[in-house]
Amino acid sequence: MKPPPFEYCAPRSLKDAVELLAADPSAMVLAGGQSLIPALNMRFAAPSRLIDIQHVEGLKGVVIEGGNIIVRAMTRHRELELNDEVFRANPLIRETMAHVAHVPIRNRGTVVGSLCHADAAAEMPSILLVTDGSVVTESPRGRREIPAADFFQFHMTTSREPDEIVVEAHFPVLPQGAGWAFEEFTRRHGDYAIAAVAAIVTRAGATDVVSLSACGVASRPIRLTVCEQIFAAQGFTDASFKAAGEAAKEYVTAPDDIHATNDYRRDLLASLVVRAVEKALTRSR
């Protein structure tokens, strides 16, 4: 349980960090380290160099601007969770954050780091996806914005190029009066999700909008588009809840594992979709 040797550097400017990463294809970026250091301790990863970005100027803090909560790369989970302005702008974030590991991990781990690690069962990627958020990267080729739908490719794989540093995540502010819910099932507090569902319900009379995402059930976080369409077409009736639950089952591609069988996850996801939409609905205005 000791990491392999590596070169270490702690640049002060983003320009230096970008240059260092571009110069060494087997270097990795270190932010909070709460996913990367376990991977190193278990020797799943062996980078030639770690580029510690904690001292890079301009990568700390959160701002709410232009309808987005802009989370910079060194923002720790706990900082975002306890931020009252963020809670008012998008309460789904705080509700979800309570499921991300434990407080001591959230004190050190960063939100952007978790998005880049992109575990298929991790909670925050599914929030970026359900809110139609995005990440912003910096590389020698300049800045680039990647929508969440394109960013998460596979378990622990994103569309970030090797020379790109993700400098921001943009979580859209929820529409006025929108209801929200995050429902997760794990065997132990703080574990990765066996299955979890994020829901946002925006009431607009004849055109209610339901956004749904899930994690833990496929090779990456997914949008439950068919379920969203069922609610959009049929409204919120016993029949539409039942149909959406059944439709959700088809999204489960995770094979049987030590935690759950495929069948179990299918039933679980159906229940979580119903539970999440019901809760989001009661919170909507």
User: What 8-state DSSP symbol labels residue 76?
Assistant: B
Of 7 and 161, nearer to another protein (C-beta) is 7
CA atoms within 13 A on the CB side of 172: 15
Q: Quote the least distance from Cβ 236 to another protein, whole Å.
A: 30
Q: Quote the least distance from Cβ 186 to another protein, whole Å.
A: 11
Of 2 and 285, nearer to another protein (C-beta) is 2
Of 45 and 269, nearer to another protein (C-beta) is 45
Of 44 and 154, nearer to another protein (C-beta) is 44
Of 88 and 143, nearer to another protein (C-beta) is 88
**The 68-72 sheet, strands edge to edge:** 62-65, 68-72, 165-172, 134-139, 142-147
Q: Quote the least distance from Cβ 104 to another protein, whole Å.
A: 4
Q: Quote the least distance from Cβ 244 to another protein, whole Å.
A: 31
Applying CB under 8 A, the residues found at the interface with another protein are: 1-8, 10, 30, 33-34, 37-38, 40-42, 50, 52, 54, 78, 82, 101-105, 107-108, 189-190
Q: Quote the least distance from Cβ 40 to another protein, whole Å.
A: 8
120 CB-near residues (< 8 Å, 6+ apart): 154, 155, 156, 215, 216, 218, 219, 220, 221, 254
With contact defined as beta carbons under 8 Å apart, do 116 and 160 qualify? yes
Of 13 and 107, nearer to another protein (C-beta) is 107
Q: How far apart are CA 284 and CA 219, in angstroms?
A: 31
**In terms of Cα–Cα distance, which of 246, 216, 2 is closest to 121?**
216
Q: Quote the least distance from Cβ 76 to another protein, whole Å.
A: 9
* Cα angle 262-131-188, degrees, rounded to a multiple of 5: 45
Structure tokens at 214: 């899930």
Identify the sign of the CA torsion 56, 62, 65, 69: positive
Q: How far apart are CA 271 and CA 220, in angstroms?
A: 20
Of 52 and 132, nearer to another protein (C-beta) is 52
Q: Quote the least distance from Cβ 211 to another protein, whole Å.
A: 28
Of 140 and 190, nearer to another protein (C-beta) is 190
Q: How far apart are CA 39 and CA 8, in angstroms?
A: 17
* Distance of alpha carbon 128 from the chain centroid: 5
Q: Quote the least distance from Cβ 94 to another protein, whole Å.
A: 11
